[in-house]
């Protein structure tokens, strides 16, 4: 599982829409609790340098720029799967219905309209070829 620290809520939501299931860590967790929570194969995405030193699989982000951070995440080996998005609120895989997507958990509908237009500017350059789909 991929964990995203409390500083990166928007990044976590975008990752989900781009097909990466991830857990958003709330700010009430201490570093010790986060270190304990992580299993061997888990990956932590964080901007907390001290915390990043204590975790085996970590993607350390030193930028505040979303696109830069997404590129770093992709370059670190996390695969975006934009044809299979997750609900940005529930982290549940969306069901495709025609050219829309529905979250089976919260019943929210997604479609590749304005919402997608606002998001695709964050797509890493490696994936720009998908930006017109
Ligand atoms: Zn949902």
SS3 state at 71: helix
Q: Which pLDDT belongs to residue 90?
A: 96
Cα 122 to ligand 1 centroid, rounded to whole Å: 21
Percentage of the residues of the chain whose pLDDT score is greater than 90: 77
Cα 119 to ligand 1 centroid, rounded to whole Å: 17
Cα 80 to ligand 1 centroid, rounded to whole Å: 19
pLDDT tens digits for range 77-131: 999 998 899 999 999 999 999 888 999 999 998 877 766 777 778 887 766 555 4
Cα 56 to ligand 1 centroid, rounded to whole Å: 31
Cα 67 to ligand 1 centroid, rounded to whole Å: 24
Cα 18 to ligand 1 centroid, rounded to whole Å: 14
Cα 54 to ligand 1 centroid, rounded to whole Å: 32
62: pLDDT strictly greater than 70: yes
pTM of the full structure: 0.89
Residue 12 in contact with residue 4, Cβ under 8 Å? yes
Cα 83 to ligand 1 centroid, rounded to whole Å: 17
Burial class (CB in 10 A: 0-12, 13-18, 19+), 76: middle
Residue 2 in contact with residue 43, Cβ under 8 Å? yes
Cα 94 to ligand 1 centroid, rounded to whole Å: 8
27 versus 130: which is more confidently predicted? 27
């Amino acid at each position: 599982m991929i964990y995203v620290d409390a500083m990166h809520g928007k990044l976590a939501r975008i990752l989900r829409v781009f097909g990466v299931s991830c857990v958003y860590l709330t700010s009430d967790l201490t570093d010790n609790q986060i270190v304990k929570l992580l299993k061997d194969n888990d990956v932590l995405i964080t901007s907390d340098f001290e915390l990043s030193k204590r975790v085996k699989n970590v993607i350390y982000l030193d930028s505040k720029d979303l696109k830069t951070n997404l590129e770093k995440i992709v370059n670190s080996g996390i695969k975006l799967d934009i044809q299979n998005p997750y609900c940005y609120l529930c982290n549940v895989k969306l069901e495709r219905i025609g050219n829309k997507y529905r979250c089976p958990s919260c019943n929210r509908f997604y479609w590749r309209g304005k919402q997608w237009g606002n998001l695709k500017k964050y797509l890493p350059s490696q994936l720009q070829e998908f930006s017109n789909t």
